[in-house]
Amino acid sequence: MTLRSFPALAALVVFVTFVVFAGAGAGPAFAAGPRGPAIEITVIHATQLDGGGTIDPLLRDLPQLTREQPFVRYNNYKVLARQELPLEIGKAAASELPNGRALAVTLVDEPKDAGGPRYHVRAEIGEPGKRAFLKLLEVTASSNEPFFVGGQSYQGGTLFLELVVRP
Amino acid sequence: MSLSHETLLELMSLADGELEGPDKERVERLLESDDEARQVVASLRGDEVGAWLAETMDRRAGASGADGVADAVMASIAGPAAVAAGGPNGASSAANVGSVARGANAWPALTVSGGKLASLAAARARRSPRLQLVASAGAAVLALAAGVALYVRAGTRHLDEHAPVASVFAPAVDVEAASAVAQRGVPGAGGGVEVNEIDAPSRGVSVFEIPVAAAAAVAKPSGASSIVVWVDDDPGSN
């Protein structure tokens, strides 16, 4: 091995490093989206169909809930959108809804970590120039525990917003 | 000893042959008049010390090839063919100078080692591959370790992503909010979703809670409850 082989060796090391990191990056580590806590928002359109409805395969666990109020009112569920936004203290993560309203979710304070992190989040749903649909909703939830906001009328049905804090 | 420190230094310089001119004459006059000074100089010039010192220095000089460095360099510059340039001690030889390597575009630096002349570039070329190999191997190991750590972490997160979205079911509790502003806390065992505050002016608000007891009946790892906040929309909206 001579001095001439050093650039080749250095290039090999850089390549291996890139492959290793890129391989890890292509996996689940970055598939979840931004680093740190995030709010996953799923917009669900629920309708009542006479001929029997279906449930979007993306809503794997919803069938168990459709026997309960208020889900029992509908038999057809379809996911319209799903996104994950980073949660920062005091900084609203905004998402536009299909009905023209906007949902804003804010992490209120530092997560409490007694027996696992608990996130205190605030949600607001409004529309410019109109009366707010939901002026304020504050909940405290652990990561991966969903909570729902329903009631918005949309195309003969209603919208359910499923909110989950992802660590 | 009555001689001063300065005088001793001067005597040592005289013994070493370093004094010249008026200083030398002055110290020599001192030797003529002072027995002690003569003894000091005699001891410094004594056979034991002087002979040993002279022999040692001559041997080292010869072994180092210092006397032949200039000639070796000039011979190398003159052409690739090595030219012998033996010094007074004959330390350098044609074979030694012949080890000087010549680069394609420039003359390499020379180094003298054990009486031999060698190219610095060649010496570096012999040493550097090992160092490069060790450094490269270290970098590769670090990169692999970082990659493994990332992958392990990724796998952990992957499991979290596939946690059930909402696998609890139970008779829902319908809490009709008479006021547009409702405040209530619904703490759940083992976590659960806790409603801190709801404010929906002039709208009917219902909170459907999925109790913990019912949640335990399904295979949800956290066993936590969940809630649905239902807000009545404006008539005719969308």
Q: What is the ipTM score, two decimals?
A: 0.78
The C-alpha atoms of residue A93 and residue A102 are separated, in whole angstroms, by: 10
As a whole number, mean pLDDT of residues A65-82 equals 90
The C-alpha atoms of residue B8 and residue B19 are separated, in whole angstroms, by: 13
Residues A52 and A28 in one domain: no
- How far is C-alpha B46 from the geometric centre of its chain's CA atoms? 53
pLDDT band for position B218 (cuts 50, 70, 90): very low
Provide the percentage of residues in chain A whose pLDDT is more than 90. 54
Residues A13 and A74 in one domain: no
Residues A26 and A52 in one domain: no
Contacts of A154 in chain B (CB under 8 A): 238
Residues A74 and A93 in one domain: yes
Mutation target among B152, B198, B210, B225 for the A interface, most CBs of A within 10 A: B198
Residues A79 and A116 in one domain: yes
Domain that holds residue A18: 1-33
Provide the percentage of residues in chain B whose pLDDT is more than 70. 45
Residues A28 and A43 in one domain: no
Chain segment A118-160, per-residue pLDDT in tens: 999 999 999 888 889 999 999 999 888 899 999 999 999 999 9
Strand-pair category, B205-210 with A134-142: unpaired
User: Does residue A10 belong to the interface with chain B, where contact is any CB pair within 8 Å?
Assistant: yes
Token reading at B196: 């801190």
Residues A28 and A42 in one domain: no
Residues A144 and A74 in one domain: yes
Residue A25 CB partners (closer than 8 Å, separation 6+): B150
Q: What is the reported pLDDT for A33?
A: 45
Residues A8 and A43 in one domain: no
As a whole number, mean pLDDT of residues A82-101 equals 94
Interface contacts (A, B; CB < 8 Å): 207
Residues A66 and A111 in one domain: yes
* Number of domain units in chain A: 2
- Report the predicted TM-score, pTM, of the whole model to 2 decimal places: 0.47
Residues A5 and A81 in one domain: no
Of B133 and B119, which is predicted with more confidence?
Answer: B133
Residues A70 and A5 in one domain: no
Is residue B195's pLDDT more than 70?
yes
Nearest to A162 by CA among A46, A35, A31, A53: A46
User: Hey, are the CB atoms on B194 and A5 less than 8 Å from each other?
Assistant: no
User: Hey, are the CB atoms on A153 and B237 less than 8 Å from each other?
Assistant: yes
Sign of CA dihedral B49, B51, B52, B53: positive
Would you tell me the crossing angle of helices B35-44 and B21-33 to the nearest 10 degrees?
A: 120
Sheet hosting strand B181-182, strand order edge to edge: A93-96, A102-107, A118-126, A134-142, B194-199, B181-182
As a whole number, mean pLDDT of residues B129-158 equals 72
The C-alpha atoms of residue B170 and residue B176 are separated, in whole angstroms, by: 18
